[in-house]
C-alpha cells in the first residue's frame, strides 16, 4: 500500500508524481525563446495536468533560465494556473562560462537571495512554494544560509525550503542553524540508480567500501518527515524503449522484465519503473524529466500498478546484476 507523501502530511497538496522542467526552453545557450519553446511548455503542462500532476520542479540553471521563462509565459497565458499548482525551484549551481574550467557550487547567502529574485522575475510570480539548495557547497556557511532563508521567508518570497543531493549529516548541519524545517531532499534514485538500496543491504559486507551513497540518508529523511524526491526516475528511458545497444547485460535483462510486467499488468513500462520506486515505504515522489506529452501520459496510473514484494525484488536484483547475500 502506497504511503501518503510527507508533503501532504505537512498540508501541501502535492501530486504523487512531479514534472521536472529541465527539458523546457530549448538549448542550454543564450538564444532567445521561440514560439515553439512556449508551445512545447504548454503541451507538457497540459499533459501533466491531465494525469493529475500539480507539482512542477525547476532550477535557476535549467536551460540557463529559459525553462523558468517558459513557465512565466504560461502563467501570463493562463493566469489562474499559478494558484492551482505547486512550484519548486532550486539554486546553488553556477554554470560554466567562457574562461571557466568547470561548473561551481554556491549557496552563499548573497547568491541564494540573488538567485531567488531572478527565478521569481523569470516565472512572473511573487513566491515559490518550495526552494531547494541544489548541491552541497564545500564553502557553505550555515549561519549565513540561515539568515538568507529567514529573509526570504519574512519577505514572503519562499514558503518552504529543502535541499537536493545532500546527505543526512549535511542536512543536520544546516537544520541546526535554520529556523525553517527542510522538507524535501531530492536525490538521484531509479531502477538503474540503486546505490541508495545497495547502501542498505551491504552493511557489514565487503562491497560496502565501494558504495558512495551516504549511509543513513534515506532513513534520516523518513524519520524527520522529509520528502524524498527522485530525480532521473525513468532512467533516461533505459527500461521504456530507449536503444539498448552497448548497454550492460543487467540493464538489457531488466528492460525485458519491465516490458513483461507491463504486459501482464496492462500498463506501460514507464508506469512499472515509477511504481517500483513508489512501492518503497519511504513514499518517494518521482520527478519525471520528460516533457514529451506521450511519455508523460505513459506515466499515468503508476501509483495504482501494485507490484508484489516478489516482483519488486525481481526488478531490484535484475538491475543489480548479482544476487543478494
d(CA 103, CA 184): 24
Collapse the DSSP code of 74 into the 3-class scheme (helix H, G, I; strand E, B; otherwise coil) and give the result: helix
DSSP secondary structure code for residue 5 in this structure: P
Give catalytic residues, as residue numbers.
62
Collapse the DSSP code of 134 into the 3-class scheme (helix H, G, I; strand E, B; otherwise coil) and give the result: coil
d(CA 130, CA 121): 16
- What is the residue whose three cell numbers read 551513497? 213
Of 73, 82, 137, 88, the closest CA to residue 109 belongs to 137
Strands (E) across 136-226 are located at 158-164, 182-188
Q: What contacts 63, CB < 8 A, 6 or more positions away? A: 22, 24, 25, 26, 27, 28
Residue 185 bridge partners (DSSP): 163, 228
Q: What contacts 204, CB < 8 A, 6 or more positions away? A: none
Ramachandran angles phi, psi of 286, nearest 5°: -70, 140
Q: What contacts 91, CB < 8 A, 6 or more positions away? A: 59, 60, 107, 111, 112, 115, 116, 119, 131, 132, 133, 134
What's the Cα-to-Cα distance from 281 to each of 162, 195, 197, 286, 317, rounded to whole Å?
Answer: 20, 17, 12, 14, 18
Amino acid at each position: 500500500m502506497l504511503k501518503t507523501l510527507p508533503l501532504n502530511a505537512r498540508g501541501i497538496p502535492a501530486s504523487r508524481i512531479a514534472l521536472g522542467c529541465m527539458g523546457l526552453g530549448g538549448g542550454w545557450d543564450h538564444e532567445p525563446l521561440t514560439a515553439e519553446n512556449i508551445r512545447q511548455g504548454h503541451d507538457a503542462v497540459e499533459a501533466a495536468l491531465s494525469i493529475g500532476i500539480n507539482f512542477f520542479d525547476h532550477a535557476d540553471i535549467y536551460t540557463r533560465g529559459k525553462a523558468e521563462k517558459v513557465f512565466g509565459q504560461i502563467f501570463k497565458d493562463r493566469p489562474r494556473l499559478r494558484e492551482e499548482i505547486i512550484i519548486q525551484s532550486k539554486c546553488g549551481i553556477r554554470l560554466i562560462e567562457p574562461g571557466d574550467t568547470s561548473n561551481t557550487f554556491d549557496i552563499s547567502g548573497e547568491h541564494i537571495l540573488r538567485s531567488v529574485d531572478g527565478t521569481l522575475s523569470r516565472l512572473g510570480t511573487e513566491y515559490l512554494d518550495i526552494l531547494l539548495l541544489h548541491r552541497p557547497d564545500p564553502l557553505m556557511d550555515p549561519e549565513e544560509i540561515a539568515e538568507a532563508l529567514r529573509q526570504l521567508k519574512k519577505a514572503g518570497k519562499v514558503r518552504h525550503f529543502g535541499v537536493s543531493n545532500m546527505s543526512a549529516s549535511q542536512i543536520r548541519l544546516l537544520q541546526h542553524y535554520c529556523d525553517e524545517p527542510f522538507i524535501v531532499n531530492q536525490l538521484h534514485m531509479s531502477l538503474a540508480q540503486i546505490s541508495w538500496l545497495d547502501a542498505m543491504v551491504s552493511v557489514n559486507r565487503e562491497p560496502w567500501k565501494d558504495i558512495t551513497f551516504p549511509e543513513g540518508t534515506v532513513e534520516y529523511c523518513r524519520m524527520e518527515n522529509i520528502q524524498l524526491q527522485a530525480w532521473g526516475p525513468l532512467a533516461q528511458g533505459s527500461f521504456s524503449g530507449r536503444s539498448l545497444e552497448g548497454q550492460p547485460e543487467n540493464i538489457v535483462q531488466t528492460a525485458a522484465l519491465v516490458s513483461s510486467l507491463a504486459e501482464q499488468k496492462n500498463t506501460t513500462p514507464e508506469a512499472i519503473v515509477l511504481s517500483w520506486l513508489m512501492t518503497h515505504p519511504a513514499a518517494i515522489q518521482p520527478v519525471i524529466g520528460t516533457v514529451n506529452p506521450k511519455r508523460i501520459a505513459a506515466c499515468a496510473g503508476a501509483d495504482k500498478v501494485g507490484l508484489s514484494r516478489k516482483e519488486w525484488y525481481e526488478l531490484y536484483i535484475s538491475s543489480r546484476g548479482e544476487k543478494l547475500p
